[in-house]
Every structure is written in structure tokens, then in C-alpha cells.
Structure 1
Amino acid sequence: MKINPAPLHIAQLAIFGLSAAMSIAILGTAAHTLDVFNKQQSSNPWWLPLWPQHFDVQGTKALIGSSTTTFVLCIAFIVLTVIPQLNLAAKPTLRALLSLCLALPSALLTLVTVIYTHILNNDSPDLDTIQTWTCKYKNAQPLDQDMALPTNMGNGNFGSLCKESKFALYGTLVVFLMLSANMGLSVVTWLADKWSARQTRKEAEMAGVQS
């Protein structure tokens, strides 16, 4: 039975591409929430500036670092795949090793980041993250005397910050699942490449005998 590994190669590239795209989205949302916090934390009363130690933003920073690293590694595989000089399509073992060596660290990093951020979120109310704080007070109403405060001194954007924080966390989990699936796909693709090469050699040998 002849196997065509080309669709598996395309699937591999597609997963790496989707992981890179998702990482960019995670980086954008996590960086935006952290930027808003840094700009408003000392001036917006909704961030309780008198108690800055109440907030722990290490989880958000971990999401930014994780998404950046994952994006770089995913793009590295895509770039290496399309370089004609490497000809990875004809080198299944090298292709599989590159895929595993780039996907495995990313998968482990995203998994650790998800667990770490989840642990920090569970420390509320003793310590709050951007996600737990904004989600907690996104629907809270200001006092009457505070109604005239500027928009950057209220909680009007807490709803979007809450959604962005959740997206960054659960999006990282999705990236982990995609990268984990890609590692399994790398092994399957390698086996398919080897089988296809073996069948091609057999056909060539049989053609040589018949001639």
C-alpha cells in the first residue's frame, strides 16, 4: 500500500502556523492588559493604588513570555521547512527531529504557564491578578459622587480586560493542545515518510528486475 505523506506535511505546517497565530493574539491581549494596569494602577481608584502589593502580575508576564517564545519557535520550523537548501521533505528524520525539538519546549512552556497562572488566580482574594480583579469588578457601579470621573479612572474597560485575560490564559491552553497533537503528528509523519520511501525503493527494484 502506497502512502502519500504530503497531506501530513501540510497538516504539520498548518498546526505550527495556527500555534504561531494564536501566540500573537495571546501576546497582544496579555500585553494590553498589563499595559493598562501599569498606566492606571497608580491613578485609577478602581485599581486600589494604596495597596499595590495586593496585585500579582507575574502570571500575565509569564503569558507574554510563553507566547513570545512559542511564536519564535513555531516560525522557526516554518522558515526551516521552506528553505530549499535544507530540503526537509526529503529528510524525514531531520524534519521529525526539528519538529519535536521545537514543539516539545513550547508545549512544556505553555503547560507550565497555564498551571502557574491558574495557581495565581486561585490565590484570590488574598492576592489578585489582573484577571481575577477585573472579572470581579467589571459590573460594579461607582458611587454617585464618582460618576463624573474620566473614563481612565473608572472600571468601564474592566469587562474587556477580563475577557482579554481569560483569552490569554485559555488560548495558551489551546496552543499547548495543538503543540501536543503536533508532536504525535510528527511521529506519524516520520513513519509515513519512511514507509513511502521504502515502497518507492521496492517499486524501483521491481522495475529494474523486470527490465
Structure 2
Amino acid sequence: MKINPAPLHLAQSIIIGLCTALSVAVLGCAAHTLDVFNKQQTSNPWWLPLWPQHFTTAGTKALIGSAVSVLILSTVFLVFALVPKLNLANRPTLRALLAIGTTLPSALVTLVTIIYAHILNHDSPELDTIQTWTCKYKNSRPMDQDISMPSNMGNGSFGSLCHQSKFALYGTLTVFLLLVGSFGITTLTWLADKWAARSNRKEVEMTGQ
């Protein structure tokens, strides 16, 4: 029975491509929420400027670092896998090792980041993250005398920041699941490549006889 590994190669590249695209989105959302916090925390009364120690941004920074790591490693795989001159399609073991060498560290980083971010989020209300704080007060209304305050001194953006923070976290979880799936596809692709190569050798031997 002949097996065509090309669809598996395509599936593998698509999954890694999705990881890359999603990591860009996670990076953008997490970086934006952190930027807003850094710019407004010392002046916006909704960010408790007199109580900065109530907040931790470690989880958001971890999400940014995780997204950057996945983005770099996934790009490395895609470059090597999709550039025809490198000819990885005909070097299944090298392709598999490259896939494992890029997806396994990415999966470990995203898993640790997800656990760490969840732990920090569950420290609320003793210690708040950008996500827990913005989601908690996104629907709160300022006092009547504060309604005329500038937009950067209110909680008008909290709804958007809440959604972006959640997207960054659950987007990272999705990346992790995709990376786990990619690891399984890598194994199947390597086995299919080996089977196809073995079948081709047998055909050549039978033709030669």
C-alpha cells in the first residue's frame, strides 16, 4: 500500500502557520494592554496610582515572552520547511527533528505561561492583574462629578482591555493545543515519509529485477 505524505506535510505547515499567526495576535493584545497600564497607572485614578503594589504585570509579560518565543521558533520551522532549496521534504528525519526541536520548547513555554498566568489571576482580590482588574470594573460608572474627565482618566477602555487580556491568555492556550497537535502530526508525517520511501525502494528493486 502506497502512502502519500504530502497532505501531512501540508497539515503540519498549516498548523505551525496558525501558531505563528495566533502568536502575533496574542503578542499585539498583551503588549497593548501592558502599554495602556504603563501609561495610565500613575495618573488614571481607576488604576490606583497611590497603590501600585496592588497590581502585578508579570503574567502579561510572560504572555508576551511566550508569544515571541513561539513566533520565532515557528518561523524558523516554516522557513526551513517551505524553502524548496533546503529540500526538507526529502529528508524526513531532519524535518521531524526540526519540528520537534521547535514545537516542543514552544509547547513547554506556553504551558508554563498559562499555568503561571492562571495562578496570578486567582490571587485576586489580594493582588490584581490587568485582566482581573479591568474585567472587574469594566461596567462600573464614575461618580457624576467625574463624568467630564478625559478618556485616559476613566475606565472607558476597561471593556476592551478585559477582552484583549482574556484573548491573550486563551489564545496562548489555543497555541499550546495546536503545538500538541503538531507534535502528533510530526510523528505521523515521519512514519508516512519512511513508509513512502520504503515503498519506492521496493518498486525500484522489483523494476530492476
Q: TM-score range by the shorter chain?
A: over 0.9
1:82: Cα distance to partner?
2.6
* Aligned-partner Cα distance in 2 for 1:92–1:144: 67
Q: Is the partner of 1:204 in helix, strand or coil?
A: helix
Corresponding residue number in structure 1 for 2:189: 189
Q: How many residues align?
A: 209
Cα RMSD over matched residues? Answer: 0.6
Corresponding residue number in structure 1 for 2:24: 24
2:166 is the alignment partner of 1:166: yes
Q: Taking structure 1 as the reference length, what is the TM-score of the superposition?
A: 0.98
Structure 1 unaligned runs (5+)?
none
* Aligned-partner Cα distance in 2 for 1:65–1:108: 13
* Aligned-partner Cα distance in 2 for 1:167–1:37: 17
Q: Taking structure 2 as the reference length, what is the TM-score of the superposition?
A: 0.99
2:128 maps to a residue whose letter is: D
1:208: Cα distance to partner?
1.1
Q: Deviation digits for residues 95-129 of structure 1, max 9, x if unmatched?
A: 00000010000000000000000000000000000
Corresponding residue number in structure 2 for 1:44: 44
Corresponding residue number in structure 2 for 1:57: 57
* Aligned-partner Cα distance in 2 for 1:194–1:49: 61
Identity among equivalent positions (%) equals 68
Structure 2 unaligned runs (5+)?
none
Corresponding residue number in structure 2 for 1:208: 208
1:85: Cα distance to partner?
3.6
1:103 maps to a residue whose letter is: T
Corresponding residue number in structure 1 for 2:78: 78
Q: Is the partner of 1:156 in helix, strand or coil?
A: coil
1:86 maps to a residue whose letter is: L
